[in-house]
Amino acid sequence: MEPKAKILVVEDEQNIQSALADFLEYHGFEALIAIDGLEAERIVSEQSFDLILLDLMLPKISGEQLCTKWRREGLQTPILMLTAKGLEKERIAGLNLGADDYITKPFSLEELLARINAVLRRTDPARGVGQKFLFGDLEIDAASLIARRAGHEIPISKREAEIIQYLAANPNRVISRDELYKQVWHDTMTDLGTRTTDMHIAKLRSKIELDSEQPQIIKTVRGAGYKYEC
The string over 59-69, giving b where at least 16 C-beta atoms fall within 10 Å of a residue's C-beta and e elsewhere, is eebbbbebbbe
Q: Smallest distance, Å, CB 58 to Ca ion?
A: 6
Under the binding rule (CB under 5 A), the answer on residue 179 touching Ca ion is no
Q: Give the span between the Cα atoms of 87 and 125, in whole angstroms.
A: 31
Looking at the Cβ atoms of 12 and 179, the one nearer to Ca ion is 12
Under the binding rule (CB under 5 A), the answer on residue 12 touching Ca ion is yes
Q: Smallest distance, Å, CB 52 to Ca ion?
A: 15
Q: Give the span between the Cα atoms of 216 and 67, in whole angstroms.
A: 38
Under the binding rule (CB under 5 A), the answer on residue 57 touching Ca ion is yes
Under the binding rule (CB under 5 A), the answer on residue 38 touching Ca ion is no
* Per-residue interface string for the shown chain with Ca ion, residues 122-141, x marking contact by CB under 5 A: --------------------
Under the binding rule (CB under 5 A), the answer on residue 55 touching Ca ion is yes
175's CB contacts (< 8 A; 6+ apart) are 166, 167, 225, 226, 227, 228
Provide the 8-state DSSP code for 51: E
Looking at the Cβ atoms of 57 and 154, the one nearer to Ca ion is 57
Number of residues forming the site for Ca ion (CB under 5 A): 3
Q: Give the span between the Cα atoms of 189 and 179, in whole angstroms.
A: 9
Binding site for Ca ion (CB under 5 A): 12, 55, 57
